[in-house]
Amino acid sequence: MDRDALLIITTAPDGATAELIAKALIEKGLAACVNILPEMRSIYKWQGKLESGQEQLLLIKARQDRYAAIEKQIETLHPYELPEIIAVSIDAGLPAYLEWVVGQMPSESQ
């Protein structure tokens, strides 16, 4: 099975930001698919203070070699001082789907 697929997770403060990030990643050929999950509540400590807010979750499917560019793009478009960006290697999945994910992004040499 092709292990080049990566799942990147980030959050956005609202739908407009989530859509902006998702569209940029797809249009630039950095991701094959971005799912935007509806509103969720996040509770965390920031600079010693308990915070709580509504956010939207983005699940980004991409190739491993796109991670650095995706991270940079998220940081550029994201309003947070420190956005959540977590990458998880995909070790198993429907082979045809993972091949589709990898195939959606042209190789770096193209």
The per-residue pLDDT for range 38-65, each reduced to its tens digit, is 999 999 999 999 999 999 999 999 999 9
**Cβ–Cβ < 8 Å for 101, 34:** no
- Kindly list the domain boundaries of the chain, sorted by start residue: 5-103
Nearest to 55, CA basis, from 17, 8, 7? 17
Indicate the pLDDT class of residue 105, thresholds 50, 70 and 90: confident
CATH 3.90.1150.10 for domain 5-103, yes or no, is: no
Q: Which residues partner with 98 through β-bridges?
A: none
For all residues of the chain together, what is the average pLDDT?
A: 93
Nearest to 101, CA basis, from 5, 21, 17? 5
The pLDDT of residue 109 = 44
Q: Which residues partner with 55 through β-bridges?
A: 40
Q: How far apart are CA 39 and CA 18, in angstroms?
A: 11
